[in-house]
Amino acid sequence: MRRLASVLLVFAASRAAAQTGERPCPAGPALRASVSQPASAASMPGMQMTSSAVQVDSARREIRIVAGPFRIAGMAHESDDMMMMDTPVLRVAWPVNGWVRGYSVQLCDGDAAGGTALAHEMVHHVGLANYSRRELLYPMVERLMAVGKETPRVSLPGGVGVPLARGDTLGLYSAFHDVDGKTVERAYVIVTLPWIPAGHNHPIEVMPFFADANSVIGGTSAWDLPPGRSEKSSEFTMPLSGSILALGGHVHDYARSVRLEDAQNGKVLVRLDTKLTSDGHLIALGKRVFGFHEEGLPLVANHRYRVIAQYDNPTGHVLKQGGMASMAGAFVPDDVREWPRLDPLNADVKRDIASVGSHDMVQ
């Protein structure tokens, strides 16, 4: 439960919006045929291995990643606790030069004769890591986009895109759970990424921004939440200058706010407040859009900043791993060539790569 895996989740579209324009699921046989089997499966007749395929739809300007089959086992639910099934990370080579401007996820039944969508509630989260680029602030691979059941689609404003190059390596990770105890033998995930091809109008180039109040590489960034009022903060130094165009975040129950401060003079730059139930459970965390076609919030190279979370735990006892807080959004670097390089030999980066998918989740 590390973080809000996607950064661009701040632009997550509503469920209603996500349903319009969605393409129907392909029929089961077409789905099964679209994902070729890895060579290792040949030695096991009748056995189907989970794999993935990338399709380029130039007419619609969409890249589709099809992955499967996944078996989603029905479980007897004795409590509300969700039994989650994590899938292995599937590596995918990005096929085109250009900019990604959104992300949506469908779950389809590979055993249906016709095209049949499975309940979106079965998707706990589906995300993409980018092994070819570093996070801005941490020695970690970029978490490009992710969605969960509450947010089936991410959509950037028109004329805005995240750059990806042909040959970039992405990792698809996901987690599912059953609905009503029913087992699905062969589910397929289709991730659709609308893209702006290189050579067309150059969009405003945005990059994911992520800052954690308790950054832990390769493990969970949750902490044990003490009773009463408390704060958790961590500082970072900007590696390059640029501006934040939009900022959201992720917190847990009993959080009051998360804010970004100038660590050198204590000035509050952005503060996101929570909406809580009367007993302190999280309803929503605010977000802030500075605007895409106007000035964003400037952050300056080599300057120190701080992320601070405020909590008020009314339960009277320590909540194990109860605290979590991060801010995530879209960032425009002044000069993208100054983006910090990913060093695959760095111990932190190695630890992070080994943990992709296991601590990333949307909720």
Residue ranges that bind Cu ion, judged by CB under 5 A: 1, 324
Nearest distance from residue 285's CB to Cu ion, in Å? 11
Amino acid, res. 91 = R
Nearest distance from residue 320's CB to Cu ion, in Å? 13
List, as one string, the DSSP characters of 215-268: --TTS---EEEPSEEEEEEEEEE-SS-EEEEEEEEEE-TTEEEEEEEETTT--E
Q: Is 204 exposed, middle or buried (0-12, 13-18, 19+ CB in 10 A)?
A: middle
Nearest CA to 331 among 198, 238, 200, 267?
238
Cα–Cα distance, 74 to 124 (Å, whole number):
15
- Would you say 116 or 358 has its CB closer to Cu ion? 358
Cα–Cα distance, 96 to 56 (Å, whole number):
8
- Would you say 104 or 221 has its CB closer to Cu ion? 221
CA 98, chain centre distance (Å): 20
Nearest CA to 125 among 100, 141, 109, 145?
145
- Would you say 260 or 324 has its CB closer to Cu ion? 324
- Would you say 7 or 324 has its CB closer to Cu ion? 324
Residue nearest to Cu ion (CB): 324
- Would you say 109 or 135 has its CB closer to Cu ion? 135
Nearest distance from residue 214's CB to Cu ion, in Å? 11
Nearest distance from residue 4's CB to Cu ion, in Å? 7
Nearest distance from residue 310's CB to Cu ion, in Å? 16
Nearest distance from residue 1's CB to Cu ion, in Å? 5
The kind and range of the H/E element at 328 are: strand 325-333
Nearest distance from residue 131's CB to Cu ion, in Å? 23
Cα–Cα distance, 308 to 196 (Å, whole number):
36
- The angle at the Cα of 249, spanning 152 to 171, to the nearest 5 degrees, equals 55
- Would you say 100 or 324 has its CB closer to Cu ion? 324
- Would you say 124 or 133 has its CB closer to Cu ion? 124
